Structure 1
Amino acid sequence: MSPAGDDARRLRVDLDIDPPDTWDCPMVTETDRATDVRINAVGDECTVDLHSDDGEGLIRADGEVTEDCLCHVFGEFGCVPHVRGVDDGTLLVTTYVADRELVRDVVEALQETLGRVRLVRLAVVEGPDATEQVTFDLSSLTPKQREGLELAVVNGYFDDDADVSLGELADELDISKSALSQRLRTAQAKLVTDVFDEADR
Structure 2
Amino acid sequence: MSGVRTELVFEQAEGCPVAVASAAVPDPVTDINWTDGDGETVTEQVSVGTDGEFDTDDELPPFEPVFDYGSEQVYEFDRDKTDPCICEHIQATLGPVTDVHARDGDLHVTLHASDVTGLRDLIADMSDDFGDVSVEYLVRSVDTDEESELVPVDLRTLTDRQREVLETAHEMGYFEYPRQANAEEVAATLDIQSSTFAEHLAAAQRKLLDELLGA
Instruction: Give TM-score scaled by structure 1 length.
Output: 0.68
Tell whether the 8 Å contact from 1:170 to 1:180 is kept in structure 2 after alignment. yes
User: Distance in 2 between the 1:83 and 1:26 partners?
Assistant: 14
- Residue 96 of structure 1 aligns to a residue whose secondary structure is strand
Establish whether residue 52 from structure 1 lines up as the match of residue 48 from structure 2: yes
Task: Tell me the amino acid that sits aligned with residue 100 of structure 2.
Answer: R
Aligned equivalent of 1:12: 5
Tell me, yes or no, if structure 1 residue 37 matches structure 2 residue 32: yes
Q: CA deviation at 1:115?
A: 2.2
Residue identity opposite 2:108 in structure 1? L
The answer to whether the 8 A contact 2:94-2:118 is kept is: no
Q: Show the counterpart of 1:150.
A: 167
**Matched positions, count:** 185
Aligned to 2:136: 120
Residue in structure 1 matched with residue 153 of structure 2 by the alignment: 136
- What percentage of residue pairs aligned between the two structures are identical? 25
- Which one-letter code corresponds to 1:70 in the other structure? I
Q: Deviations over 1:126-182 (max 9, x none)?
A: 57xxx87011111111212212333456x495998x898235766654457776565
Any idea what SS the aligned residue of 2:207 has?
helix
Q: How much has 1:97 moved relative to structure 2?
A: 2.5
Structure 2 CA distance for aligned equivalents of residues 86 and 45 of structure 1: 21
Cα separation, 2, equivalents of 1:91 and 1:194: 26
Cross-structure match for 1:3: none
Change (3 A) 1:70 1:120: same
Kindly tell me: are residues 145 and 100 of structure 1, through their superposed partners in 2, closer, same or farther at Cα, counting changes over 3 Å? Answer: farther
| Superposition TM-score, scaled by structure 2 size | 0.65
C-alpha spacing 1:134/1:63, structure 2 compared with 1 (3 Å): same
Q: Is the CA contact 1:26–1:61 (under 8 Å) kept in the aligned structure 2?
A: no
Instruction: Name the amino acid aligned to 1:117.
Output: V
Q: Work out which of the residue numbers 20, 27, 33 in structure 2 matches 1:28.
A: 20
Gaps of 5+ in 1: 1-7
> Given residue 28 of structure 1, which amino acid in structure 2 is its aligned partner?
V
User: How large is the Cα RMSD of the aligned pairs?
Assistant: 3.7
CA distance in 2 between partners of 1:191 and 1:71 (Å): 29
CA distance in structure 2 between the aligned counterparts of 1:102 and 1:170, rounded to whole angstroms: 30
Aligned residues of 2:165 and 2:201 also touching (Cα < 8 A):
yes
Is there any run of 5+ residues in structure 2 with no aligned partner, and where? 52-67
Q: Secondary structure at the match of 2:94?
A: coil
Name which one, 1 or 2, has greater alpha-carbon Rg.
2
Query: 2:213: which partner in 1?
Result: 196
Kept after mapping to 1: 8 A contact 2:139/2:152:
yes
CA 88–138 in structure 1, closer or farther in 2 if over 3 Å, else same: same
Shift of 1:121: 1.0
Matched letter for residue 5 of structure 2: R
Aligned partner letter, 2:158? L
Question: Once superposed, which parts of structure 1, at least 4 consecutive aligned residues long, lie more than 6 Å away?
Answer: none
Is the Cα contact below 8 Å between 2:30 and 2:48 reproduced in 1? yes
State how far apart, in whole Å, the 2-side matches of 1:44 and 1:125 are.
40
